[in-house]
Amino acid sequence: MTLSPVVHVWSAILFVAALAVIGEVMIASGMRQLGDLDDIRALHGLGGTIGSVLTNARFVTGALCMALNFFSMLFALSIANLSLAGPAIAALTYIGNAIAAKFFLHEKVDRRRWLATICVVVGVILLAR
Amino acid sequence: MKHVLKPSQYAILLAIMLTASVGDSFLKRGMEQVGAVNMHHLGLLWHALFNPYVDIGILLLIGFFATYTTALSWADLTFVMPATAFGYVVIALMGRYWLHEHLSLSRWIGILLIVCAVGFVAGGPSRTEHPELDQMDAGAGR
């Protein structure tokens, strides 16, 4: 059975967005775990800072998701127009990030940040028209 | 709570805005030259790595990744997010004032909304402080 092109395109868009959300949340979680990189660099130098980032399990998991996201993005852009795939992936990623940041990273996503997220999503969609 | 960012931290946010948007444009240009990739021609992804536009795009996106990661070490994900969206505004304004492209009313409204989003989060704290979780994380992560 062949999937219709619309289902094909939107499956790719959803997959790319989901990978981006997982990757960004894992990286954000890893960086929060490590703390301010400027402070680490002052103590351990640039090499030590890079080492501490690259040996953080959450960061590495997130980076792998982002690498997968990169290649799946190339694939998605080859089957969908940039004018559709770009804003759709961005909008879904911004909404997914805000929700995941609230529930998984325990960030204080107050009214100001929800409003910013909605403005970004609508803004990105309008810019792509 | 860190309300005021240092100049170097503003520079990091500016780099996030520029590298992602310009990098994506280079990638799109390169992939147009490489051609459509599908399940039967996955080898083209390897071929794409030898396209100069794709290479410049990749370098810029590595720069984006480094600056984005740095920003996440001192700011919340939901604080940094609008900065990444501002890249779309940069691309649109480059098109308008550099390439003299026409910007429709809806695009100007889009630019205004993203600028507002950056203003909304920039006015608030950059980081949610929860010392208990950070202490647990520090014990597990270092």
Q: What is the pLDDT of residues B73-88, one digit of tens each?
A: 999 999 998 888 888 8
Contact at CB, A127 and B48, closer than 8 angstroms: no
Please give the Cα distance from A99 to B46 (Å, whole number): 35
Asked if A49 is an interface residue toward chain B (Cβ–Cβ < 8 A), one would say no
Q: What is the rounded average pLDDT for all residues in chain B?
A: 82
Q: How far is A29 from chain B (nearest CA, A)?
A: 9
Segment B116-122 mean pLDDT? 85
Q: How far is A125 from chain B (nearest CA, A)?
A: 7
In this prediction, residue B142 carries a pLDDT of: 44
Q: What is the ipTM of this complex?
A: 0.84
Q: What is the pLDDT of residues B124-138, one digit of tens each?
A: 788 887 766 556 555
Asked if A2 is an interface residue toward chain B (Cβ–Cβ < 8 A), one would say no
Give the pLDDT band (50/70/90) at residue B50.
confident
Contact at CB, B77 and A35, closer than 8 angstroms: no
Q: In percent, how much of chain A has pLDDT > 70?
A: 97
Asked if A34 is an interface residue toward chain B (Cβ–Cβ < 8 A), one would say yes
Higher pLDDT, A63 or B142: A63
Nearest to B22 by CA among B103, B89, B119: B89
Sequence ranges of the domains in chain B: 7-141
In this prediction, residue B133 carries a pLDDT of: 59
Segment B46-69 mean pLDDT? 89
Res. B141: pLDDT tops 50: no
Instruction: Mention every residue, 6+ apart, whose C-beta is less than 8 A from residue A59.
Output: A26, A27, A30, A31, A34, A53, B69
Contacts of A56 in chain B (CB under 8 A): 141
Q: In percent, how much of chain B has pLDDT > 70?
A: 87
Contact at CB, B120 and A28, closer than 8 angstroms: no
Contact at CB, B78 and A38, closer than 8 angstroms: no
A33, B138 Cβ separation under 8 angstroms: yes
In this prediction, residue A27 carries a pLDDT of: 95
Minimal Cβ distance to B137: which of A32, A113, A119: A32
In this prediction, residue A14 carries a pLDDT of: 93
Pick among A26, A29, A74, A111 to test the B interface (most B CBs inside 10 A): A74
B113, B86 Cβ separation under 8 angstroms: no
Range A98-105, long-range pairs (CB < 8 A, 24+ positions)? A98/B78, A98/B81, A100/A21, A100/A25, A101/A25, A101/A28, A101/B76, A101/B77, A101/B78, A102/B78, A104/A25, A104/A29, A105/A25, A105/A28, A105/A29, A105/A32, A105/B76, A105/B77
Please give the Cα distance from A100 to A25 (Å, whole number): 7
| Entry pTM | 0.79
Which chain A residue has its CA at the smallest distance from B142's CA? A34
Given a cut of 70, the residues of chain A with pLDDT beneath it are 1-3
Contacts of B120 in chain A (CB under 8 A): 112-113, 115-116, 119
In this prediction, residue B113 carries a pLDDT of: 93
Q: Which secondary-structure segment (H or E) carries B135?
A: helix B131-141
In this prediction, residue B136 carries a pLDDT of: 58
